[in-house]
A and B are shown apart, each in its own frame.
Chain A
């Protein structure tokens, strides 16, 4: 996925700063205590990515919301350089929703890369204790806000999602969706910063495991006061759980089978069925 996005994004390189930065999901490992460690990589179209963006100042924040719905403040997590690329890892002990944001700037460009998904830690006891509490995200940070679904654990194709852009929506030059094997798709951002997006169904995802996902990046470019803000939100999209369910054929099949079975029972009866 990342390489596919990189291939189109390579056309957009400007200057020494990366044009677009987004988060991509890496390997997930389960520890012996049941907790899981999820790796994330920061990807961009920059030629300098193998040097971990030496000119950039990156900060990563995350928040884990557990099943009780108790939202703790954001915590900081250090970015490391692995295989020449910036990456980070987050350990999760219980079932929780992760909100991750990586913030950086280069020259006049300000980057925010976000990702939000569920993690399933199975540690027998204890909660995740972040190394450094931070509180809230920096004021004025350009970012997307996606209200989590109450119905579904995973983001799915075919569902409609409502994003809110925190920034100056009037200065947003473009909003687009970057997806594997497809050209960037432009979307309309409302004046109040609301964006409604329905990811299309993907036949490849439908044929694969329900735990497979694809990464789709929502990108906003805002220009204000000689600054450029590039904000991305990585959607980990699973196949739809409900869009392909057809109740009517199911009910007809149930009734048909019941009639067939009842007919068979009466036809092949060996004694009168009525007393």
Chain B
């Protein structure tokens, strides 16, 4: 029996979770309000809600009255935080590469681009480095603005600042539930109008970005930062046997996030970098046995091997020749 290839397994898991998280609520399935992925709560009947919504909401609610920490409201906020930490520890970046519905949507755009034979846009390393702080700025934005609402009298229409003015999932994901409501501009007042213009304009730009560049939004995703904070205590490990690395550079070339760290790491065993989404494409393309491996505690989930690369990328074509997938 031919073993299931990792990329195929990932494809199955991604689509299963896309359906569950987009439509699950309609069938009574809901994974809670602290998911470490972009499962948009603005999708009617969704099967779970992104933690960033709770984070922005809780900050506002709790800062209104610090005494709330000892009440049910405070416990609820702590519950969401605890659940988020637990879920993140359990699966770490698997949430991004295997579960996130918005990530799956981006992968569809990539698939479409490849089918059309269009090249992927290339961002220079300098550009990548310049864009790195953006996700931290967005994280600060979604924490500071609720504090300003609570303490500085900022208008309440600034609430959920990230969801309502930045996140492209809000206008785009509800389309899968048949709702165009979040594509509309909100003329209620100046704040709502500016937020809705920003939201729709960013979504328009992101649509194109996601088409030309694989996982384009993940470059800016603040959830990656939050998940990365917990990497050291998570049982999910991504390791490299640095001494056995052939230095072929396959990992760097195949990485959808253009991560160099795995290839360039020469000393440290842990190579789970901030932008990594554990899609395991690098591990799949590494031709050296056991150099790259993904572990859960001491158990090895998957590790690189020459045989796997041969099965994945080199297919028998005719007798005496091989066809290499490029």
Chain A interface residues (CB < 8 Å from chain B):
30, 32-34, 122-124, 206-207, 209-211, 239-240, 242, 244-247, 249-251, 253-258, 260-262, 265, 269-275
Contacts and interface: CB of A to CB of B under 8 A. Distances in A.
A262 B204 CA distance: 10
Given A254-B183, A272-B119, A207 B189 contact: yes
A249 B185 contact: yes
A210 B204 CA distance: 27
A250 B183 contact: yes
B118 A206 contact: no
B117 A275 contact: yes
Contact-residue bracket for chain B: 35 or more
Contacts of A260: 204-205
A129 B208 CA distance: 56
A255 B200 CA distance: 9
B119 A30 contact: no
A249 to B, nearest CB: 5
B204 A258 contact: yes
A210 B189 CA distance: 11
B9 interface: no
B315 interface: no
Contacts, number: 105
B72 A123 contact: yes
Contacts of A257: 200-205
A210 B200 CA distance: 21
Given A210-B156, A258-B207, A122 B197 contact: no
B112 interface: no
Main secondary structure of the interface of B (DSSP, over half): helix
Given A206-B188, A271-B119, A34 B72 contact: yes
B222 to A, nearest CB: 21
Interface of B: 70-73, 75-76, 117-119, 121-122, 155-157, 171, 180-181, 183-189, 192, 196-197, 200-205, 207-209, 211-212
B157 A210 contact: yes
B118 A275 contact: yes
Contact of B204 (A30, A124, A261, A274): A261
A253 B71 contact: no
Nearest to B180: A247
**Most A-side CB within 10 Å, residue of B76, B171, B184, B197:** B184
Nearest to B206: A261
Contacts of A123: 72
Given A33-B72, A209-B155, A244 B209 contact: no
A274 B71 contact: no
A269 B171 CA distance: 28
A245 B184 contact: yes
